[in-house]
């Protein structure tokens, strides 16, 4: 059992942070960021061509991160690989010591840098979870035997702020039915919604890890410039950021993320936090430190 | 400009496809009022501009006219409710097809002219004639008559 | 029916560069309804090509013909005398008709004049929407007659993705989220239970290409093609 799995099991507040693999083969910034956060988190969530934008393979980056002493959760999406490739990657992940896997359907290609590529979506995230569990039972997705079975800690994505919420709850319940160990949420803005969502998941053992996004000018610009995937930054927050200098905006974003993490930790809705700071990943350590983590 | 190169004796030929309920009446009234307007326009009366098909517009240009003016009712005033709106869309489509084939889209235009608006008819005809004089003869006609290498409108301009 | 889109004139013109005599062949079925390749569109293309070729000083001899359906041999046979006068055939039918025309007249060069886009509904004249992706395993009984394969860009089978926003699709905010629609329809008719369980992955063999289908009553004649 690795550090992340132990933390999940222990019932303590689980701290994770997101990091994108290098977009290229220069590993230095990635390695520096890993070193800066590894003692503050239970696992680093390594994204998989997030936003449909090219980055180094999540498994390769995850393996490098582990060699360097960081526990990781590797994301695998269903957009870029069919069920055969997904199963092969899962076996390979386990062999490399990457037992924590976040299975997602994947942001649609039109959001990214390769919009003309073929969208695969052979499996959806629920079916992918189920297939990964069948690997653990020593069978491929079609029921044929494997030579040696892997063991995973598997997660999915959920959105407590989706409108309407009930179809989203149904989907999350299916992920629980497929034996997901944890659900990482999209960016949380309203803790009441998070609590309401958690309440609808019933008596399941699944751990809810709440997504917190460190907002900065880059995030505001990306929303103003179009239609980014995921939850939009709410109007009242946009208003609070309006007219601020870059440094002031970063400070407000930092303060807000710290407060949100503290509230999450004090509350009961979520069993952990997933901090992402796509525009300023270098700020992750100071936000976690300020939040007392 | 094309005007510099074409035959000075050239007189444009413009076909006006007009609706009987509005533009035709305006043109008729212009006659009664003895309003002067250029003689280069040949009027074809239609029951409604909604009767204009895209292929009519293309074939007319292909036959060698220098410009086409479609005259329909003012927006909201069509006798058949939206024939003029449909004509507008088809004229836009035909303009795109003509341009794709190498003729200027400016050779085809739709105007909305009410039945009582004889002066507007006169103004629009003058405007269209001036525009076509500027564009010069339909390059298809030049190619047909003189046997010289035709130029597209784009190349000529 | 099948929806197609006329190719840009430039592309058709370029493909005809090496030929003098072209027959433009329309199809009176799907592509006529979607205003891409019926009799009217044949006339428009011929007119455009005549204008363009005269302007280029390289006149093409153009003919026009429109058959009831290009995906049916009996209608293509009607062209057998006419095609002799041309060295190239431009088909305005869907991809099926284009290939069938070429199969029937193998000594003629056959070129496409349209791009075939999808199977769709005729919402209004001039407005068509995709409704079926021919998956070979219809899910509509399960999903309240809203197709998750077609109407969800990710073809998800087990519920909405996390990106759905106020019932709209993450990929295109103008469009409804298919899974929100499915959920609402099933909820309204008291059938939510039928999507509570995990739907297994699709069997892509059911939509394998190139597909062939032979009716039970025709096995004796065609089983050799299976």
Nearest to B67 by CA among B35, B27, B110: B110
Chains that touch A (3 or more CB pairs under 8 A): C
Degrees, nearest 5: CA angle B4-B7-B8: 80
pLDDT of residue B153: 67
DSSP 8-state secondary structure symbol assigned to residue C147: -
Could you tell me if A98 and A4 are in contact, meaning their C-beta atoms sit under 8 angstroms apart? Answer: no
Q: Do chains C and B touch (3 or more CB pairs under 8 A)?
A: yes
- Do the chains contact at A162 and C162, CB–CB below 8 Å? yes
**pLDDT of amino acid B154:** 54
Mutate to test the interface with C, among A110, A141, A171, A211 (most CBs of C within 10 A): A171
Q: Are A124 and C157 in contact (CB under 8 A)?
A: yes
Pick from C40, C43, C51: which is nearest to B101 by CB? C51
What Cα–Cα distance (Å) separates residue B9 from each residue in A30, B62, C145, C170? 77, 22, 69, 63
Partners of C161 on chain A (C-beta within 8 Å) are: 105, 125
Q: How many CB atoms lie within 10 A of CB A106?
A: 28
**C41 with C92: CB under 8 angstroms?**
yes
Question: C164 and A171: CB-CB below 8 Å?
Answer: no
How far, rounded to the nearest angstrom, does the alpha carbon of residue A2 sit from its chain's CA centroid? 18
How far apart (Å, rounded) are the C-alpha atoms in residues C114 and C38? Answer: 11
The pair of three-digit structure tokens given for residue C165, joined into one six-digit string: 């926003």
Give the integer Cα–Cα distance in Å for A247 and A265.
Answer: 27
The confidence score (pLDDT) of residue B5 equals 61
Spell out which chain A residues touch chain C, with contact meaning CB-CB distance below 8 angstroms: 79, 83, 105-108, 110, 119, 121-127, 130-131, 141, 157-159, 162-164, 166-168, 170-171, 173-174, 177-178, 186, 227, 229-232
For residue B157, is pLDDT > 60? no
**Substitution target from C162, C175, C186, C196 for chain A, most A beta carbons within 10 A:** C162
Given this model, what pLDDT does residue B111 score? 97
pLDDT of residue B120: 97
> What average pLDDT does the structure give for chain C?
96
Say if strands B108-112 and A153-158 run parallel, antiparallel, or are unpaired.
unpaired
Strands C2-6 and C114-124: antiparallel
Q: How far apart are CA C207 and CA B18, in angstroms?
A: 54
Contacts of A208 (CB under 8 A, 6+ apart): A158, A182, A183, A185, A194, A198, A201, A269, A270, A271, A272
pLDDT of residue B3 exceeding 50: no
Interchain contact, B150 vs C54, CB within 8 Å: yes
- CB B67 within 8 Å of CB B107: yes
Q: Show residues of chain B in contact with C48, CB under 8 Å.
A: 58, 97, 100-101
Q: State whether B102 and C50 contact (CB < 8 Å).
A: no
Q: What is the pLDDT of residues C16-53, one digit of tens each?
A: 999 999 999 999 999 999 999 999 999 999 999 999 99
Candidates B59, B62, B90, B101: best to mutate against C (most CBs of C within 10 A) is B101
Q: State the DSSP H helix or E strand holding residue B125, giving kind and residue range, or none if neither.
A: helix B118-135
Give yes or no for residue B151 having a pLDDT over 90. no
Per-residue pLDDT at C123:
96
Q: Give the Cα separation of A90 and C16 in Å (integer).
A: 51
B146 pLDDT tier (thresholds 50, 70, 90):
very low
| Per-residue model confidence (pLDDT) at position B145 | 42
Check residue B149 and give its pLDDT.
Answer: 42
CA distance C224 to chain A (A): 31
Nearest-Cα residue of chain C relative to residue A79: C154
Eight-state DSSP code of residue B92: H
Residue of C nearest to B98 (CA): C48
Question: Which of B117-126, B148-157, C14-23, C132-141 is the least confident region?
Answer: B148-157
Q: Structure tokens of A125?
A: 């995230």
Within 8 A of B58 by CB-CB distance, chain C residues are 44, 47-48, 51
Burial (CB < 10 A; 0-12, 13-18, 19+), residue B100, is: middle
Q: Residue-wise pLDDT tens for chain A (293 aa)?
A: 899 999 999 999 999 999 999 999 999 999 999 999 999 999 999 999 999 999 999 999 999 999 999 999 999 999 999 999 999 999 999 999 999 999 999 999 999 999 999 999 999 999 999 999 999 999 988 889 999 999 999 999 999 999 899 999 999 999 999 999 999 999 999 999 999 999 999 888 899 999 999 999 888 888 888 778 888 899 999 999 988 999 999 999 999 999 999 999 999 999 999 999 988 999 999 999 999 88
Q: Which residues of chain A have a CB within 8 Å of the CB of C200? A: 127
Under 8 Å between Cβ of A212 and A194:
no
How large is the average pLDDT for residues C61-77? 97
SS3 at position A286:
helix
Q: What is the pLDDT of residue B156?
A: 45
Cα separation, A169 vs B108, in Å, equals: 58
Query: Which of B153, B128, B127 is CA-nearest to residue B139?
Result: B153
pTM score of the predicted model: 0.90
Judging contacts by C-beta atoms under 8 Å, the chain A residues touching residue C204 are 122
Q: Please give the residue of chain A at the shortest CA–CA distance from C149.
A: A121
**Straight-line distance from the first to the last Cα atom of chain B, in angstroms, rounded to the nearest whole number:** 5
Mean pLDDT of B7-33: 94
Complex ipTM > 0.90: yes
Six token digits for residue A269? 């809705």
- For residues C107-112, average pLDDT: 97
Ranges of H-type helices in chain A: 3-10, 28-37, 58-67, 83-95, 125-136, 166-177, 191-200, 217-224, 235-241, 246-266, 284-290
* A77 closest CA partner among A45, A38, A33: A45
DSSP-assigned beta bridge partners for residue C121: C129
Picking from A50-54, A140-144, B3-7, C134-138, which range would have the lowest pLDDT averaged per residue? Answer: B3-7
Secondary structure (DSSP) of A138-186: TB-TTS-B-SS----EEEEEE-TT-SS-HHHHHHHHHHHHTT-SEEEEE
- Token pair, residue A200, equals 């609808």
Chain C residue set in contact with A, beta carbons under 8 Å: 153-167, 170-171, 173, 179-180, 182-184, 187, 192, 195-202, 204
| Tokens standing for residue A255 | 């303060």
Q: Do A173 and C158 touch (CB under 8 A)?
A: no
**What pLDDT is recorded for position C97?**
96
Flag if C164 and A178 touch (Cβ within 8 Å): no
């Amino acid at each position: 059992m690795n550090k992340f799995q132990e933390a999940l099991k222990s019932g303590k507040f689980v701290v994770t942070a997101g990091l994108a693999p290098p977009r290229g083969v220069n590993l230095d910034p990635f390695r520096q960021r890993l070193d800066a956060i590894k003692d503050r988190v239970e696992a680093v969530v390594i994204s998989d061509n997030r936003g449909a934008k090219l980055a180094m393979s999540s498994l390769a980056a995850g393996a490098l991160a582990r060699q360097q002493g960081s526990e990781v959760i590797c994301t695998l999406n269903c957009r870029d690989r069919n069920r055969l490739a997904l199963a092969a990657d899962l076996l390979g992940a386990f062999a490399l010591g990457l037992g924590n896997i976040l299975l997602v359907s994947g942001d649609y290609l039109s959001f990214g840098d390769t919009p003309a590529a073929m969208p695969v979506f052979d499996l959806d995230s629920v079916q992918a979870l189920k297939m990964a569990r069948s690997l653990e039972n020593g069978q491929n997705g079609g029921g044929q035997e494997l030579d040696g079975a892997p063991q995973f800690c598997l997660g999915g994505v959920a959105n407590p702020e989706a409108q309407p919420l009930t179809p989203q709850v149904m989907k999350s319940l299916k992920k629980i039915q497929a034996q997901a160990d944890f659900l990482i949420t999209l960016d949380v803005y309203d803790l009441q919604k998070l609590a309401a969502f958690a309440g609808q998941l019933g008596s399941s053992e699944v751990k809810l890890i709440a997504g917190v996004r460190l907002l900065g000018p880059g995030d505001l610009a990306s929303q103003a410039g179009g239609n980014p995937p995921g939850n939009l930054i709410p109007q009242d927050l946009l208003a609070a950021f309006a007219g601020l200098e870059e440094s002031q905006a970063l400070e407000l974003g930092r303060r807000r993320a710290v407060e949100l993490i503290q509230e999450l930790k004090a509350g009961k809705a979520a069993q952990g936090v997933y901090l992402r700071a796509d525009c300023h990943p270098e700020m992750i350590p100071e936000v976690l430190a300020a939040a007392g983590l | 400009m094309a005007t510099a190169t074409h035959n000075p004796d050239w007189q444009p030929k413009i076909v006006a496809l007009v609706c009987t309920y509005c533009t035709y009446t305006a043109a008729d009234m212009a006659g009664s009022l003895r309003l002067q307007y250029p003689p280069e326009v040949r009027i074809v009366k239609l029951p409604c501009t909604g009767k204009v098909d895209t292929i009519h517009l293309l074939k007319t240009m292909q036959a060698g006219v220098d410009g086409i003016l479609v005259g329909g009712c003012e927006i909201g005033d069509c006798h058949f409710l939206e024939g003029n709106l449909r004509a507008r869309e088809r004229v836009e489509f035909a303009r795109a097809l003509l341009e794709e084939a190498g003729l200027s889209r400016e050779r085809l235009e739709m105007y909305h002219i009410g039945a009582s608006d004889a002066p507007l008819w006169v103004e629009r005809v003058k405007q269209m004639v001036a525009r076509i004089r500027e564009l010069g003869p339909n390059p298809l006609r030049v190619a047909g008559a003189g046997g010289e290498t035709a130029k597209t409108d784009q190349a000529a301009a | 029916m099948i929806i197609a889109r006329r190719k840009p004139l430039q592309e058709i013109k370029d493909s005809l560069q090496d030929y003098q005599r072209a027959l433009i062949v329309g199809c009176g079925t799907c592509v006529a309804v979607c205003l891409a390749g019926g009799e009217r569109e044949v006339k428009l293309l011929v007119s455009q090509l005549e204008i363009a070729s005269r302007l280029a000083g390289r006149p093409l001899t153009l003919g026009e013909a429109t058959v009831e359906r290009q995906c049916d041999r009996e209608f293509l046979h009607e062209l057998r005398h006419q095609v002799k006068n041309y060295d190239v055939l431009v088909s305005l039918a869907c991809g099926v008709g284009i290939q069938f025309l070429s199969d029937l007249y193998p000594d003629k060069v056959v070129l496409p004049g349209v791009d075939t886009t999808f199977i769709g509904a005729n919402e209004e004249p001039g407005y068509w929407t995709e409704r079926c992706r021919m998956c070979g395993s219809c899910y509509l009984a399960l999903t309240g007659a809203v197709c998750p394969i077609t109407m969800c860009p990710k073809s998800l089978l087990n519920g909405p993705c996390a990106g759905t926003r106020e019932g709209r699709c993450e990929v295109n905010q103008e469009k409804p989220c298919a899974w929100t629609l499915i959920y609402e329809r099933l909820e309204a008719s008291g059938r939510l239970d039928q999507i509570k369980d995990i739907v297994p992955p699709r069997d892509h063999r059911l939509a394998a290409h190139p597909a062939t289908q032979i009716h039970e009553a025709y096995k004796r004649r065609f089983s050799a093609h299976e």
